[in-house]
Structure 1
Amino acid sequence: MYNCHPSRPRLRPLALLLGCALAAGAVTAASAAAVDQPEGADFADLSIEELANIQVTSVSKKPERLLEAPASVFVITADDIRRSGASTLPEALRLAPNLQVAQGNGASYAITARGLNGGGNSAPNKLLVLIDGRSVYTPLFSGVFWDVQDVMLEDIERIEVVSGPGGTLWGVNAVNGVINITTRSAHDTQGSLAMLRGANDGADVAFRQGGRKGEASWRVYGKAQGRSHTERASGAPVNDAWHSGQMGFRTDWERGADRFTLNGNANRGAFEQPAPGTIRVGGTNPRLGTVDTRGLNLTAGWQHALQDGGSVNLQLYYDYTRREVPPTFTESLDIVDLQFQHTLAPFGAHSLAWGANARYSWDRVQGSEYVAFLPERLNQTWLSLFAQDEITLTPTLRATLGARIESNPYTGAEFLPSARLSWSAAPGHAFWAAASRAVRAPSRIDADTFIPGRPPYILAGGPGVRSEVAKVFELGYRGQPLPRLSYSATLFYNDYDHLRTQELLPSRTAVRFANLMDGHALGIEMWGSFQATKAWRLSGGLTAMRERAYLKPESNDVSGPLNAGFDPSHSLQLRSTYSVDASRDVEIALRKVGALDLGPVPGYTALDARFGWRVRPGLELSVAAMNLNGSHPEYGGITTRAEVPRTVAVKLVWQN
């Protein structure tokens, strides 16, 4: 069965061509600007206690201490990214122990939290990803095209990774987690920066220039990168080389109680599709061409601080993407999104926030003899309203109750409630519990996909599809048992209903999408950091999960339970960060990931290392080696997946 997601083993659009146009437009304060910590804060020298006090916004849509957030949250800081040697956004996300990041080949990734990371029937489509408040999921299949999601890594302030449902605050598709990527304010990126990176698999170059004019600060940036072909385990080359380019700008200014942000980005790229062909019609494979992608997004944000201590946030963004996937389809998509939030001043024991969201899209898909989306032109609207109240029951006990009603084009109104209880048992120790309902609403691929055949379709859409539902229960602890030790642990149980299946029609000549499968996932995720000495920090994380799916009696999709999940039963990561002196540091990281039954994909161990040297103020030279112990596969079928290679890279960053 054909799937348009690039990280799937069936058809991988492999993207990105060099070149770009500069955008004009605007970003937001809704999630990026509502942070209390000092502007320009560098996390390089923060202690364990200071890291626990980092302000996060993804859990409550308002600033709160990480230690007190009643959810499973891991924060990737700017310094974590620098020390890791990551060169792309998916590589940086590997730092979060509560994510599964699996590379299929080239620039194709499957990324999720708490399971359901793809397989025969379902691409990774239950994780919401935000970049400066702009949602980057595509309504084509409710997932993320990771090959076109890019930012300048040196501009990232932090990445908040919430594993678990976030539907009350963020809407449908925030089922298994939320990734909230926040870039630095233009106030904090003044002066010049240039980056060069060369490796045995490709190269990167980037620049940034920032300045001030009156009350406003601004920056512009540009970057380009490319990667060579990977190889299979046999040594045969995989046709998956890619290159991309992106440019953009950001400006921030304050006037009295108001804060404004403007942000724009443009990208273009191309990458090759690995052979053999992945769509088989009548026993033949089409010839696959190079995928071309391009995009433009503009975001505007305004935040107003009210005199009584509340705030009003307004965000508007426009997002255009075009994806040409020869010989199968070409999609052009325009999205306009408006978000409003009002956070009231605390009154009595209550702290209330409410808001609304309106989203409209124009989708145009040109099909082929291999696949079609019918109708080819479709305009869609999403509307939602939410409210959340944080209630102080006692000085150490808080309850958070919230709900969202969201209307989508396929199933109408969905109700997304949540209830959380947090208890500060003692200074530095917090326990919490939560119960939530989240849904993954149908997308175009669920309802509108047709594959021609005899008679007259092999796949005949899914006119009766419904939302996939998750009821999630969580118990968590976060704290500092010792001054130099922080620790977090979460137990979770996900009860799934109406998971997607492929049902054989009575004619037995075609299939149709339906929702005739249930399932559950039971697991634990934990991580911690230990400051062994002033110069040496150790950190680690572990996830373990048991995932099962069951067909309903009326289903005939015998492969559905196997295909529902594509996830390891466990993963482990250990990281050692050592500062030799004020100018030199060494980081060594070990990842161990369990096998995937589907594929099958064997378990693997990866060893990474990086040495960084600040040659002089404003100039850093680093050498990073990934997969030192050898290449390995991570995702996909035997005939299509690549070995994730051993790479060695030298990077130079200059700033003034």
Structure 2
Amino acid sequence: MNATGRPFPWTLLLAGLALAQPACADDAVRRPGGEFVDLSIEELANIDVTSVSRRPERLQDAPASVYVITAEDIRRAGVRNLAEALNLAPNVQVARGSNTDYFISARGMNGTSNSPANKLLVMIDGRSVYSPLFSGMFWDESDVMLEDVERIEVISGPGGTLWGVNAVNGVISITTRHARDTQGDLLVLRADSDGGAAAFRHGGAMAGGAWRAYAKVFGLARSELASGQPIDDDWTQGQAGLRGDWARGAERFSVNANTWRGRQGQPAPGVIGAPGADKGLGDITTHGANVTGRWEHLLDGGGSVTAQAYYDYRYRRVPPTFRDAVDIADLQLQHALAPLGRHSIVWGGEYRYSWDHVENSRFVAFLPASDKQAWASLFAQDEVALRDDLRLTAGVRWERNPYTGAEFLPNVRLSWRATPAHAFWAAVSRTVRAPSRLDVDAYVPGAPPYLLAGGRGVRAETARVFELGYRGQAGQIVSYSVTAFRNLYDHLRTQDVTPDGRAIVFGNLMEGRSRGLEAWGNVQMTDAWRLAAGATLLHEEFTLKPGSGDEGSVMTTGRDPAYTAQLRSSHVLDEARELEVAVRRNGALGYPDVPAYWAIDARFGWRCAPGMELSVIGTNLNGGHAEYGVASVRGEVPRTVGVKLTWQR
């Protein structure tokens, strides 16, 4: 029996272990069209990443704590959405409170009682997808067709110099495939014990390039409390989009557009077993559309000039509290100079403008209800080859936001390649989380005259970050990465009583410190069998400054596991069959308490015909568990079993 009182699926686990025995592991196995077995440990280290320096560089050379989730990782794991895919990265914490309520962060600060997770910057093909309403993520609004993802670069640590404010504890950059790599037809059908999905994509050629179009729909049934009581959090959503890529001489062009519409139940705050607690507060409805255009001109000598512009519209209705409609227009320019002696310089700027309108209610209000905001920034970074084996990277960003004015975000990084297979790096950075409308404009009606009266005097939350890392390989069999970090936070948000005691306002009277360790690696057991492991350690301390009595923020700000660990086994059994088994362990969360848990996931894939793959996928095979939230309202993340059919030609 497991902790939930349900029988442990020993037969499934034993069958998986039996199939995982390396009976055919000594044969070099190549999957038709597959990337995994074609990439050796050394080749994986040579994957290009762009999020660290805004130009392609080898993962082995990147002076940052960066983990790459490849398209093949996503396919083998059998995940259903971006949030589940991020569980594959050992340097990010993923917690699910209900079907659509995800809390995701790196290096802690994963939400508090008065501050949702808001220190992680997420981009899809260069388009920032965090909400200007609260600087965090509505993960149900940020989706892609997973079969179109080329890679996900997960940087734990600051990225403010290159990507701006809010890239405090991490940057997640999702890159979709070039249209030329998605030609023909693809059909995906999936049925799970808690829902289902269908998706179709067609790609074709055009003069000088290629295009694709896709559509997908999915649905999830209600989840349950630990008591078995259903929660009104069922979710359905549809999405469609297209992408075109073409080239003409030294010019590269790309256009990407998406539209979506969703509906989800909204659990009602209450007590387990309370009458009507499963009825919810009324459905949350969402819809939106976005279009991104990108132009790149290749210069002689290896330089380039890039311009990107996007428009993003999002609508969200959350009864009975508010409705929010926001339009965002963004323009980015970048110039990567051809190498100048030992210098590699990249510089650029960005301008973003938003129109936001909130329809207020008697429960919460944003004043003013309608607001127009602008952000402007300039950045420059120089990478200097001090010696053939020693590089110094220095950069700074100036960014102006509507609430605190100009912020300066510098960073310095030093990397030393001791040998071709071993590299050390160190970094010092300063970054900030700029205030959002929630910090400044939020009001809760109540006598006298507001219970919560915004935060007109709020400051930017700041972090000074110190990092030391090592990345290495042991021949063609083992690769590994280790990073130690120290974060010093200041001006963290608090809820403080006004001097006259008549209302609560948002302030910045908390400071904090955290330190930790991140480590992961790969072991090529045989030509067809690879193990991947990762772990994190985290210690956080938060204290109030004089003038604040907000002990609740101190208790809840460090709601992060002290440790996480994972182990994945990827085994190509033969040309037609493969098995993926993953085991995860997350430490307990503090106030309110969430127990530590184990999770065992598995996928068996079978290429039953040319162009056709059938998968059987099980998640949380050892039983459901809680991951985030107050016990009386949080959903259990359930055990699920599903079947997926993928056909392409």
TM superposition score category, shorter chain reference = over 0.9
Q: What corresponds to 1:555 in structure 2? A: 548
What displacement does 1:285 show?
14
Give matches, 1:219-368, under 5 Å. 219-276=212-269, 288-368=281-361
- Please say if 1:67 is aligned against 2:60: yes
For residues 498-577 of structure 1, the aligned pairs below 5 Å read 498-577=491-570
The alignment status of 1:486 with 2:479, answered yes or no, reads yes
**Partner SS state of residue 94, structure 1:** helix
Instruction: State the shift of 1:216 in Å.
Output: 2.4
Distance in 1, Cα, partners of 2:216 & 2:66: 30
2-structure distance, mates of 1:73, 1:395: 23
Give matches, 1:34-53, under 5 Å. 42-53=35-46
CA deviation after TM superposition for structure 1 residue 486, in Å: 0.3
Offset from partner CA, 1:248-268 (integer Å, 9 cap, x none): 000000000010001100000
Gap regions ≥5 residues in structure 1: 1-39, 279-283
Q: 1:102 aligns with which of 95, 111, 123?
A: 95
3-state SS, counterpart of residue 50 of structure 1: helix
Structure 1 residue 185 and structure 2 residue 178: aligned?
Answer: yes
Residue 307 of structure 1 and its aligned partner are, at CA, apart by 1.5
Letter in 2 for 1:242: W
SS of 2:558's partner is coil
- After TM superposition, list the pairs within 5 Å mapping 1:555-634 onto structure 2: 555-634=548-627
Alignment deviations for residues 462-512 of structure 1 (CA, whole Å, 9 cap, x no partner): 000000000000000011023210000000000000000000223434210
2:437 to 444, 450, 453: 444
Q: In 1, distance between residues paired with 2:89 and 2:279?
A: 38
Distance 2:594 2:74 in 1: 28
Decide whether the 8 Å contact of 1:43 with 1:78 is kept in 2: no
1:139 to 132, 139, 142: 132
Q: For 1:366 and 1:255, how far apart are their aligned partners in 2?
A: 47
User: 1:226-277: CA deviations, max 9, x gaps?
Assistant: 0000111111111110000000000000000010001100000010001236
Does the C-alpha gap of structure 1 residues 536 and 41 become closer, same or farther in structure 2, counting only changes over 3 Å? closer
User: How much has 1:565 moved relative to structure 2?
Assistant: 2.2
- Aligned-partner Cα distance in 2 for 1:44–1:414: 46
- After superposition, the C-alpha distances for 1:194-215 in whole angstroms (9 at most, x for unaligned) are 0000011000000000001221
Q: Cα distance, 1:435 vs. partner?
A: 0.2
> Could you tell me how far apart the structure 2 residues matched to 1:41 and 1:200 are?
28
The answer to whether the 8 Å contact 1:127/1:178 transfers is yes
Amino acid at match of 1:236: Q
| Structure 1: distance between partners of 2:199 and 2:280 | 34
Q: CA deviation at 1:101?
A: 0.3
Structure 2, unpaired ranges of 5+: 1-32, 272-276
Which residue of structure 2 lines up, in the alignment, with residue 29 of structure 1? none
Q: Describe the superposition over 1:402-452 as per-residue Cα deviations: whole angstroms up to 9, x where unpaired.
A: 000000000000000000000000011110000000000000000000000
- Partner secondary structure for residue 45 of structure 1: coil
SS for the counterpart of 1:561 is helix
Conserved 8 A contact 1:590-1:608: yes
Of 343, 353, 368, 1:375 maps to 368
Classify 1:545/1:250 alpha carbon distance in 2 versus 1 (closer, same or farther; 3 Å). same
Q: 1:426 corresponds to which residue?
A: 419
Instruction: Determine the structure 2 residue equivalent to 1:25.
Output: none
Distance between the aligned counterparts of 1:214 and 1:350, measured in 2?
Answer: 38
1:348 offset after TM fit, Å? 1.4
> Which letter does structure 1 place at the counterpart of 2:412?
A
Task: State the Cα distance separating 1:562 from its structure 2 match.
Answer: 1.0
User: How far, CA to CA, are the matches of 2:280 and 2:456 in structure 1?
Assistant: 31
* Preserved CA contact (<8 Å) 2:40 2:476: no
Change (3 A) 1:76 1:490: same
Residue 640 in 1 paired to residue 600 in 2? Answer: no
TM-score by length of 1: 0.92
Alpha-carbon distance in structure 1 between the residues aligned to 2:132 and 2:411: 24
Distance 1:237-1:649 versus aligned 2 partners, 3 A rule: same
Please report the RMSD computed on the Cα atoms of aligned residues, expressed in angstroms: 1.4
Residue 323 of structure 1 aligns to a residue whose secondary structure is strand
The offset of 1:43, in angstroms, is: 4.2
Verify the 8 A CA contact 2:93 2:106 in the aligned structure 1. yes
SS at the partner of 1:581? coil
- Deviation string 1:141-200 (CA, Å, 9 cap, x unpaired) is 001100111100000000000000000000000000000000000011000000000011
Task: Check conservation: 2:230, 2:278, Cα contact below 8 A.
Answer: no
Amino acid at match of 1:171: G
Displacement of 1:308 in angstroms is: 2.9
Instruction: Give the secondary structure class of the aligned counterpart of 2:75.
Output: helix
User: What secondary structure does 2:301 align onto?
Assistant: coil
Paired residue secondary structure (2:42): helix
Secondary structure of 2:592 counterpart: coil
State the shift of 1:90 in Å. Answer: 0.4
More divergent stretch after superposition (454-463 vs 502-511): 502-511
Are 1:496 and 1:520, in contact at CA under 8 Å, matched by a contact in 2? Answer: yes
Structure 2 residue matching 1:522: 3-state secondary structure:
strand
Matching residue of 1:157: 150
Aligned counterparts of 1:562 and 1:67: Cα–Cα separation in 2: 39
2:87 equivalent to 1:87: no
Rounded Cα–Cα distance in structure 2 between residues aligned with 1:41 and 1:497: 47
Which of residues 101, 110, 114 in structure 2 aligns to 1:117? 110
Residue number among 48, 55, 76 corresponding to 1:55 in the alignment: 48
SS at match of 1:308: helix
Give the superposition deviation at 1:121: 2.1
Task: Indicate the residue corresponding to 1:26 in structure 2.
Answer: none
- The whole-number CA distance in structure 1 between the counterparts of 2:432 and 2:544 is 19
How far apart are 1:521 and its partner, in Å? 0.6
After superposition, the C-alpha distances for 1:311-345 in whole angstroms (9 at most, x for unaligned) are: 00000000000000011000000000000000001
Q: Distance in 2 between matches of 1:174 and 1:135?
A: 11
AA aligned opposite 1:175: V
| Matched-pair contact (CA < 8 Å) for 1:119–1:598 | no
Alpha carbons 2:570, 2:579 under 8 Å: kept: yes
Of 201, 208, 221, the residue aligned with 2:201 is: 208
Q: How does 1:398-417 map to 2 (within 5 A)?
A: 398-417=391-410
**Aligned partner letter, 1:367:** N
One-letter amino acid of the counterpart of residue 209, structure 2: A
What SS does the aligned partner of 2:325 have? strand
Shift of 1:564: 1.6
How many angstroms apart in 1 are the aligned matches of 2:216 and 2:77? Answer: 20
Residue number in structure 2 paired with 1:8: none
Instruction: Provide the C-alpha distance between the structure 2 equivalents of 1:374 and 1:596, rounded to a whole number of angstroms.
Output: 34
- In the alignment, residue 120 of structure 1 is paired with which amino acid? S
Q: Is the 8 A contact 1:527 1:541 kept in 2?
A: yes
Alignment partner of 2:60: what SS? helix
Q: What do the CA deviations read for 1:499-558 (whole angstroms, capped 9, x no partner)?
A: 000002234342100000000110000000000111110010000000110100121212
Q: Which residue of 1 aligns with 2:14?
A: none
Q: String of CA shifts for 1:354-392, please: whole Å, max 9, x gaps.
A: 000000000000110000000001000000000000000
Q: What is the SS of the residue equivalent to 2:309?
A: strand
Pairs aligned (count): 612
Give how far 1:582 is off.
1.2
Query: Residue type of the partner of 1:230?
Result: S
Amino acid at match of 1:130: M
Distance, in Å, in 2 between the alignment partners of 1:41 and 1:576 is 17
User: Could you tell me whether the CA contact under 8 Å between 1:319 and 1:334 is conserved in 2?
Assistant: yes
Provide closer, same or farther for how the CA distance between residues 287 and 275 of structure 1 changes in structure 2, counting only shifts above 3 A: closer
Distance, in Å, in 2 between the alignment partners of 1:175 and 1:481 is: 33
What corresponds to 1:129 in structure 2? 122
Q: Counterpart of 1:633 in structure 2: which amino acid?
A: A
